[in-house]
Amino acid sequence: MNSPINKTTLYLCIIFCFFLASCSNSNSGQQNEVPSLPFQTIDNASVYPSQVTGGLYVLRSISEWSNFWSVLHASYTPQPPLPSVNFTENVVIAVVDSPRPTGGYSITITSVQISTTGVIVQAVHQSPGQNCVVTQAFTQPDHIITAPTFSGEATLNLTETVQDCSP
């Protein structure tokens, strides 16, 4: 191991191994990144249950948006004003929960990821835990956002969580 050729070979092998390791690490981070669309929240509330069925909605025109907003807020007098949306550049994406018997539930859109067929809407649905103090009123959580216009369909990927209210 004291010969210059063996030391040189050993050093070259070590440098080559570091080179391979650094190349594989830089590529693996890029492969896992999924491009996302920026979005802006219009409404993140828990409304009195409406005639809107729980689920994912993509609204691409002012008439679809106006109808959706009116039905979502049908039990309100007066109804809140319709938020303005530029439909030449944006769409409205809404995730609406099913009606719930109490408060303590929420829906939060965390990202809108570009996919080969359109977008994947990542959202978190939170339920109250056993020890949580909640309002005794019917609710229907929603999260409504605007995002840049996209072609294709939207798919909902909903993660369920339970709030821990342990003392």
Helix (H) or strand (E) holding 15: helix 4-32
Percent of all residues in the chain with a pLDDT value above 70, rounded to a whole number: 81
Strand bridging mode 153-163 / 118-128: parallel
User: How far is Cα 140 from Cα 61, in angstroms, rounded to an integer?
Assistant: 24
Whether the predicted pLDDT of 27 surpasses 50: no
CA 72 to chain centre: 20
Whole-number pLDDT of residue 42: 96
Q: What is the pLDDT of residues 119-154, one digit of tens each?
A: 999 999 999 999 999 999 999 999 999 999 999 999
Helix (H) or strand (E) holding 80: none
Q: What is the pLDDT of residues 90-121, one digit of tens each?
A: 999 999 999 999 999 999 999 999 999 999 99
List the structure tokens of 40.
């802006």
Q: What is the pLDDT of residues 38-95, one digit of tens each?
A: 999 999 988 888 889 999 999 999 999 999 999 999 988 899 999 999 999 999 999 9
What is the domain partition of the chain in residue ranges? 1-33, 36-163
